[in-house]
Amino acid sequence: MSKSTFYVGVDVGQEELWASIDDKKARPFPNNKKGIKQMWNWIKKYANDYLIHFCMEATGVYSYRLAEILLTYSDTTVSIVNPAQIAAFSKAQLRRTKTDSVDAQVILDFVKSQKPPVWMPEPASLRKLYHLVTMADALKEELRQWKNRQHSHQYVEDLPKEVIKSQKAVMRNINNQLIKIEQAIKELCLSDKKLKRQMDLLCSIPGLAELSATRLLAYGKTALTTHSKKELTAHAGLAPSHKHSGISVRGRSFICKKGNKKLRKTLFMPALVATIHNPIIKDFYQNLLKKGKPKKLAVIACMRKILIMAQTILIKKTPFKTIIH
């Protein structure tokens, strides 16, 4: 017989954790290993032998660190939910007060009524790839800004030599760091068998090259293989949003964009390339244009189709050529 569940709502802050359980006032604990242990001991007094289900908002490194520590305890599960879901749930409850203790209570009410899915940590190799890719993209953006600054300085007549020298040194250093990070990404993808296999599968799709494939894996994470097609589309912010109601509301439809911006950005250039070199995407794109769809909408539809194509290939572990034959 399965165990009964004891629910806990946790509001995660940089310095404090507020934990809320049934019939007790929410309590604060320091957000460190000692404080987490204190929180666990307090909850365990009331949970008895029940399965303890923690729920918290996705607050970046703070919530993920807490979740990973909590999962080291026995009989424990964790849910990490989108803050927008908690905000909407609080609004539906007509809450007028927002404090850390109230937020913890709202999260507790949410997990008890909505039963969100259990969160599991990403594989270590995938987490490492994510951090490397994020750093590489940040360095590229910084280098782009410095190049723009260098271009504008060409039109400054009396620019000091020290500025020019410093600017070149900074750009050289950023570029060197970028080369090192990109090399680390390649080495990781070659040394990890699963990542290498996934990279080979993704690169078999016309339109996806090594650069795009690494970004797709890093930003898509396990959602690429664990989410349904509908969930994955929403996760990338590519789900359509319609504004039709009754006879008076006839708004324009558009993509929701409430999703992973980096994943969505990753798909744009591969979609453009695929409209020329990928036979499936090319036919799909041309059919949309023949139906009178705007080019921008057609490209977005191709982005969504490539994402689902990548998911299918990763799940079936079958390259692109096998799928089209």
Residues 6+ apart with CB under 8 A from 130: 122, 218, 219, 221
Helices (H) and strands (E) in the chain, counts: 14, 9
What is the C-alpha separation between 36 and 4, in angstroms, rounded?
23
Q: Are 215 and 199 in contact (CB under 8 A)?
A: no
Q: What is the mean pLDDT of the segment spanning 175-201?
A: 96
Query: Between the CA of residue 188 and those of 123, 126, 174, 182, what are the distances in Å?
Result: 13, 10, 21, 10
Which tokens hold the place of 241? 């949003």
Q: Give 119: exposed, middle or buried? Use CB within 10 Å, 0-12, 13-18, 19+.
A: buried
Dihedral sign from CA coordinates of 314, 315, 320, 322: positive
Which tokens hold the place of 106? 């709202």
pLDDT at 310 over 90: yes
- The whole-number pLDDT of residue 247 equals 52
The CATH classification number of 5-114 equals 3.30.420.40
What is the rounded end-to-end Cα distance, in angstroms, of the chain? 48
Question: 93: pLDDT confidence band, cut at 50, 70 and 90?
Answer: confident
Closest CA to 311 of 215, 259, 233: 233
What is the C-alpha separation between 243 and 250, in angstroms, rounded?
6
pLDDT at 1 over 50: no
Q: In this predicted model, what pLDDT tens digit does every residue of 283-307 receive, in sequence order?
A: 999 999 999 988 988 999 999 999 9
Which tokens hold the place of 65? 């660190």
Q: In this predicted model, what pLDDT tens digit does every residue of 197-221 receive, in sequence order?
A: 999 999 999 999 999 999 999 999 9
Q: What is the mean pLDDT of the segment spanning 100-111?
A: 94
Dihedral sign from CA coordinates of 194, 198, 203, 208: negative
Which tokens hold the place of 158? 């009396």
* Pair type for strands 240-241 and 16-20: unpaired
Q: In this predicted model, what pLDDT tens digit does every residue of 240-264 receive, in sequence order?
A: 654 544 555 454 555 555 678 899 9
Which tokens hold the place of 187? 């080495």
Which tokens hold the place of 153? 């300085």
Domain boundaries, the chain: 5-114, 124-191, 210-324
* Pair type for strands 27-30 and 249-250: unpaired
Half-sphere exposure in the Cβ direction for 60 (13 Å, CA): 4
